[in-house]
């Protein structure tokens, strides 16, 4: 009996939380998880039927923008930080658990893209080799652009200035540090093309 009552209480709490965020963001979420960090000073636009997992952090600083289109999925413990740039997540995108997006230079993720667990997209970087500039102050903000229908395997890292063409696959644990010229299957650190698509 106790566990049935606990399950009912959890369901009721989830419904109340979802309704609160539906009103707050002016949309209709499929699910809005417990324990989320929502720190919004910038602009946010969220489509319908979006899933936000438990313990997700959505941080949008003043002057930054976050857009999530319809039917997209943000898994539990993901961290999306928009500061100084615009993060645009297309339709039917899946960003799986414990992934991290740094949107400083801007990030675009095309429709129907799949991002594996614990992946990182970092849209800023530090330069070095300039004797008159400290590394902490020498920052690039070129942005990251992922096309449509891309699959990033688990633990892929994508760095600032990268473009990945539509219909590409990046193997698990790979590092993408430079723009990719054409669609294909890429693996390694740094990635190398192993197959055309």
Whole-angstrom distance, CA of residue 156 vs CA of residue 47: 26
The residue annotated as part of the active site, out of 30, 126, 127, 178, is 126
Q: Which is nearest to 66 in space by CA: 159, 56, 76, 156?
A: 56
SS3 string, the chain, reads CHHHHHHHHHHHHHHHHHHHHHHHHCCCCCEECCCCEEEECCEEEECCCCEECCCCEEEECCCCEEEECCCCEECCCCEEEECCCEEEECCCCEECCCCEEECCCCEEECCCCEECCCCEEECCEECCCCCCCCHHHCEECCCEEECCCCEECCCCEECCCCEECCCCEECCCCEECCCCCCCEEEEECCEEEEEEC
Beta strands 86-89; 120-122: pairing state? unpaired
Catalytic residue status for 124:
no
Q: Active-site residues: which are they? A: 126
């Amino acid at each position: 009996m106790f566990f049935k009552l606990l399950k009912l209480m959890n369901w009721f709490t989830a419904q109340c939380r979802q309704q609160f965020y539906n009103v707050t963001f002016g949309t209709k979420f499929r699910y809005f998880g417990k324990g989320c960090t929502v720190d919004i000073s910038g602009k946010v636009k969220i489509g319908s039927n979006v899933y936000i997992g438990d313990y997700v952090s959505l941080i949008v600083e003043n002057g930054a923008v976050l857009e999530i289109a319809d039917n997209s999925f943000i898994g539990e413990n993901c961290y999306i930080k928009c500061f100084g740039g615009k993060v645009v997540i297309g339709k039917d995108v899946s960003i799986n658990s414990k992934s991290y997006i740094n949107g400083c230079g801007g990030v675009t993720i095309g429709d129907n893209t799949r991002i594996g667990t614990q992946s990182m997209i970092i849209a800023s970087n530090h330069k070095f080799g300039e004797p008159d500039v400290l590394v902490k102050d020498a920052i690039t903000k070129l942005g990251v652009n992922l096309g449509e229908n891309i699959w990033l395997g688990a633990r892929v890292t994508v760095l600032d200035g990268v473009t990945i063409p539509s219909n590409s696959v990046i193997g698990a644990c790979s590092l993408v540090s430079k723009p990719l010229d054409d669609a294909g299957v890429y693996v390694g650190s740094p990635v190398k093309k192993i197959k055309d698509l």
